Each structure stands twice: as structure tokens, then as C-alpha cells.
Amino acid sequence: MFINKPFLRDFMNVLGIDEAGRGPVIGPLIIAGCMIDESKLDELKKIGVKDSKLLTSKRREQILKKIQEITTSKIVIVEPKEIDEVLESDNLNLNWLEAIKSAEIINFMKPEKVILDCPSPNVRAYEDYVRKHLNDKAMPLHCEHKADVNHLIVGAASIIAKETREDIVKELKKKYGDFGPGYSSNPITQKYVEKNFEKHPEIFRRTWATWKNHNNKKEQKSLDEF
């Protein structure tokens, strides 16, 4: 007698999540999810996937095209205005914002397991916060520092996030001029913020000290003149 048994898969769809652009005073934060069947993880290694910070821009661009051929992905773009609203709130911070957006990606992609790069020193608290926002509370979820280095699928997500931000930055520069890499430590960015912090409020993170310092100087000058 033939008994029809359910098909048992040896591999599961695994989703990796990483971000790009947490630190810049200019431009958006990008959070990317990249999903693949575990049986194909070796293909990511073959095409050269690594943490995006270990790759040149040209190499990332080449690898991205190959990643897109063998994975599915979801990208969330968090504009400066939303970042500022979160940081000005009483109960949220940048880590919790990233956790919420990561949960949105998980809920959309519906993977069978997830590996997250963790931005918080308290890995357990971060994992619990992400899980609180999941539709499937029992989702196998693994949070880890440097997950983009230790897990290929998170490395793939880091490349997607980095290249997405790079493309957005190129478009912003066409419209607003050269502001360098957008990081406060960069001299080109510093000069750009000083000259343009009032002109283009939509591209700046107003909660960053770099922007606030210039705004405070302006306000103080106005008071002195008054």
C-alpha cells in the first residue's frame, strides 16, 4: 500500500539582513534583506561574496549583478527626516529603528530562518525587539555582531545595501553638488555642511552633531545681533 508522505526539504530559505549608512550626516540609511535556499550558499562564495567593506566599489558592482541572479531581495530606504523623527522621540533610537525595519523585511519575505547583523552590544535585547515585531513569533532568528563577515547571506545583503546607498548618493550629488562621502569626519563633507546646512534640509540628518553645531552657531549669532 502506497502512503503519500509530505515532502521533507533538507534545506530552508535563509534570509540575511544588513545595513549601509548608519553614520553619515547626509543621505539615507539603507537596510537590505537577501534570501536564498541554503543549498545554494556555496554559489555566493563562488561569485566572491564578502562583507561589502572588504570589497572595492568596482568589485561590489560586479558581484551585485550575480547576487541578483540567484537570490531574492528587499530594500528599505530610511530618509533623514524619518531618522530625525525617531531620534527626537522619547522611546526609540537608531538601533530600534533598524530592528523595526528589519522586521518589516522579514514579514515581507517570509523566510524559514533569519540571520541578522546586530548593531547593538546587547545582542539578546536586539533579537527580542526584532522578534516582538514579527508576524511569526517562532521564526528561527539569529543575531550576531559581524554577521556580514561570518555569514555569506548577510555579506550579500551588505553588498546590496552598500551599492543601493552608493547609487542614491551619486544621484544626490548630481542634484546638490559634491558633499564627499557624507561622513562628519570627512573635510569635504564638513565644508559642505557648513555652507549648505540651511539650503538643503531634506538631505541632512538634523539630529547629528555636525548639523546641530552649525545651526546652534547661527541661532547664537542671531541672538547676539538682537
pLDDT digits (tens, 9 = 90+) for 125-151: 999 999 999 999 999 999 999 999 999
pLDDT classification of 3: cutoffs 50, 70, 90: very low
What's the predicted TM-score (pTM) here? 0.90
| DSSP element (H, E) containing 135 | none
Average pLDDT, the chain: 91
Name every residue whose Cβ is closer than 8 Å to that of residue 171 and which is 6 or more positions away in sequence: none
**Interval 64-90: pLDDT, tens:** 999 999 999 999 999 999 999 999 999
pLDDT classification of 225: cutoffs 50, 70, 90: low
Please give the residue that has the higher pLDDT: either 42 or 10: 42
For each of the domains in the chain, give its residue range(s) and CATH number, in order of start.
Answer: 13-177 (3.30.420.10)
Long-range residue pairs from 49-54, CB within 8 A, at least 24 positions apart, any chain: 49/152, 49/155, 49/156, 49/159, 50/149, 50/155, 51/146, 51/148, 51/149, 51/155, 51/158, 52/18, 52/20, 52/148, 52/155, 52/158, 52/159, 52/161, 52/162, 52/163, 53/148, 53/158, 53/162, 54/149
- How far is Cα 76 from Cα 67, in angstroms, rounded to an integer? 18
List alpha helices for 88-208, DSSP H. Answer: 94-109, 123-132, 147-150, 152-176, 187-196
**Interval 210-221: pLDDT, tens:** 999 988 877 665
Q: So what's the pLDDT on residue 223?
A: 46
